[in-house]
Structure 1
């Protein structure tokens, strides 16, 4: 009888404490004693779970980065030569607004995780071809301009109307090369919607520069430039 009473006292005592396990943060939270009882995660645990669920961003392949760097370098290299910094006979500062819009268009290309894209193979081939066209035009145009190479639209003393080399194909081959570089870059690093926005901004800026330069050349060369303007497109072949 005494043993039975002792057994009843032991069974009616408080239940044993739940086993404790480490949560990885140096603390030992109690495990629920009932299967239907759920323990709420701590704030630190919730942050860790959210970080683990976050998708990882893969970097662009190295060879694509190399193509972009080499393409830009080859295009930009001929502009490192000495520019004509003498006082201009006539100039138009409105071309700077067009230049600003072109720079904004280039900046738009690199937004929205540009370095995480893995472009398709056909895009890479198109990009290489466009970079080659842009570099060829920039080298040929700067060589043809010679001492007339300037940063903004201007007419110098002894200015000549260049109509040889790439200027026989388009009136503004440097702008054509800039368009080729923009297309070569955007096709591999920029989402289509943002690419279209950047292209529109670039074309608006380029049209401003074309109009200001054409007006200066028309006032200076008269009928000679008018004839040239009628026979040669501005910067996109077959588009006058």
Structure 2
């Protein structure tokens, strides 16, 4: 089963809205695409949006959900809107920007790499990947592949992707917004780990003991 029509519409609408915010912040279509790096960033964004259409990610509450963590979604939504617009706007007015064209290209590379890492676990988990903190039907603990090293690769991908977006606009504001993603991400990780431990018990404890939470060798 592939992405539902509802999720497909949300994915397409979200991708286009995010790009539209950046174009508006940068001062219009001509101003945005005048930079080949920003054109490349837009192409990567669209490619990631298309790839997402072939996943089974969902927003199902499954068999059991930690509803107390839903506040994180609101924070992500607000930060996402700000991230879409402010780095581009700051770039346009040259507010708190740094570096040159090389920094922009580095941003494109990180944006693509982070986006790929963000989507990879969605393909691996299939319908078990939900936007909510929930245990899905026939939920199984995946401990191989990228999950054999870190327990939350999709969140690491989100952070790398956000850093890349910020650098594509040479934006210090974008890096601050990326840093603001960390507290709600940690809250969500803790909520997920508590739920998984309650579901899988000693199996999850053993898995957690041999892997990193987010950054290999650090966290």
TM-score by length of structure 2 reads 0.72
Which segments of 5 or more consecutive residues in structure 2 lack a partner in the other structure? 1-26
Matched, 1:79 2:44: no
CA shift for structure 1 position 139:
3.6
Query: Partner of 1:14 in structure 2?
Result: none
Matched, 1:209 2:183: no
1:100 to 69, 74, 88: 74
- Show CA shifts across 1:10-55 (max 9, x none): xxxxxxxxxxxxxxxxxxxxxxxxxxxxxxxxxxxxxxxxxxxxxx
Q: CA RMSD in A?
A: 2.6
Distance 1:204 1:85, change over 3 A: closer
Q: Distance in 1 between matches of 2:164 and 2:152?
A: 19
Query: Partner of 1:160 in structure 2?
Result: 140
- Show CA shifts across 1:90-145 (max 9, x none): 11123322232233333333226245269612212321321232233134212210
Q: Which structure shows the bigger proportion of residues in helix conformation?
A: 2
Contact 1:144 1:164 (C-alpha < 8 Å) held by counterparts = no
- Show CA shifts across 1:186-215 (max 9, x none): 1132632x2343123200121111111111
Larger Rg: 1
* 1:29-48 to 2 correspondences below 5 Å: none
Q: Distance in 2 between matches of 1:184 and 1:111?
A: 14
Query: Partner of 2:126 in structure 1?
Result: 146
Number of aligned pairs? 183
CA shift for structure 1 position 85:
6.1
Distance 1:128 1:137, change over 3 A: same
* 1:1-240 to 2 correspondences below 5 Å: 59-60=31-32, 61-80=34-53, 81-84=55-58, 88-109=62-83, 110-111=85-86, 113-114=89-90, 116=92, 120-189=100-169, 191-192=171-172, 194-240=173-219
User: Does the residue aligned with 1:157 lie in a helix, a strand or coil?
Assistant: coil
Distance 1:238 1:105, change over 3 A: farther
Distance 1:128 1:163, change over 3 A: same
Which segments of 5 or more consecutive residues in structure 1 lack a partner in the other structure? 1-56
